[in-house]
Amino acid sequence: MHKKTFVAAAVGLGLVTLSACGSTGQSAADSKTVTLVSHDSWAVSKSVLKDFEKRSGYKVRVLKDGDAGQAVNKAILTKDNPQGDVLFGVDNTLLSRALDNGLFQPYTAKGLDKVGAQFQLDQGKHRVTPVDYGDICVNYDKAYFDRHHLTPPRSFADLAEPRYKNLLVTENAATSSPGLGFLLGSAARFGDQGWPGYWKKLKANGVKVVDGWEQAYYQEFSGSAEGKKAGGDRPLVVSYASSPPAEVIYAKKRPATAPTGVVSGTCFRQIEFAGLLANAKNPKGAKAFLDFLVSKEFQEDMPLNMFVYPVVAGAKVPADFTEYGPAARHPETMAPDKIAANRDQWVKAWTSLVLK
């Protein structure tokens, strides 16, 4: 999830997070090249990607376009002459925006029959292919709360309490997928009429808003390894339920327990999709790549690379992942049609309420 790449450690573990731009000299029209447009957290094991390239005959280029929200917005602006063939990373919070703008052409991926019906949100039209799911949740810095003899919050409501004043950092709901997910989670929890009052309380309680996840987690959050280096001083951050295992797995010296925890009462379920872009220059290669994304090989490789859960039934999840980052038991959810009907006006209201 556009979100948890932990790049330096990933490179050491043999993962590949390629990036490219239009001036690389390799034509996107090359029939042997598939260009993937993604948010910044795309990652796959080098051996798994090479296996796909060998079997399919296609070479994969990856163009990273920032946070998921930024990637989707840019794809909409360039849809008549797209930057690539496949877009990965559009999630249920942004799905209707992508579909309403005609970003994708239909394709039923091979293996889609093994993907749970709860993840297939496009009502049988197959303009997008479900790839993964996870939970947007507030994370907390265990050491901070131990040091201050303070009990971590347990719910959305707790975050507005005076004892947590000036402790929370979140992402901009207008520019960031986790930021938007946190807003939708609060709307699901407090209702259409109740969420503005909740955010007024959060603002009065000193919530800090930054543009995207990487800034929030790596620079502002005191609990991440990079955050410590950057002097981050916020012990609460909107991130993912799967962030704690990454802190364990990528630590220079593996700790016995995760240094960060999850506020389980603040989680919102996120599903990510990929789609064949309208006007793609290599639709045949794009279809092969979409088949690859729901293959068991990729689905089982994905958790420890992008720290998300597979959507394909029977795909195994590593024990480290489930031990330190189990999926939320009772996450907040919202029907896609309700998100579509309210998202833009809620974001506008949120911007006026929180940022001005």
Please check whether residue 20 is in contact with residue 61, taking contact to mean a CB–CB distance below 8 angstroms. yes
Q: What is the CA radius of gyration of the chain?
A: 20
pLDDT in tens, 310-344: 999 999 998 888 788 778 889 999 988 899 999 99
pLDDT at 13 over 70: no
**Is 73 or 354 the better-scoring residue by pLDDT?**
354
Neighbours of 316 (CB within 10 A): 12
Give the confidence band of 30 by pLDDT, cuts at 50, 70, 90: low
Per residue in 290-318, pLDDT tens? 999 999 999 999 998 998 999 999 999 98
pLDDT given for residue 169 in this prediction: 98
pLDDT at 7 over 50: no
Task: State the DSSP H helix or E strand holding residue 336, giving kind and residue range, or none if neither.
Answer: helix 336-350
Query: With pLDDT > 70 as the criterion, what percentage of the chain qualifies?
Result: 92
Look up residue 74 and give its two tokens.
Answer: 């840019």
Residues in CB range of 246: below 8 A, 6 or more apart: 4, 6, 307, 325
pLDDT at 18 exceeding the cut of 60:
no
Distance CA 302, CA 312 (A): 11
Average pLDDT score over residue span 32-57? 95
Beta partners for 18? none
Residues forming beta bridges with residue 168, ordered by sequence position: 236
pLDDT in tens, 60-118: 999 998 777 788 888 999 999 999 999 999 999 889 999 999 999 999 999 999 999 99
For residue 132, pLDDT over 90 is answered with: yes
Mean pLDDT of the chain: 89
- Greater confidence (52 vs 6) lies with 52
Nearest Cα residue to 224 out of 251, 256, 242, 264: 251
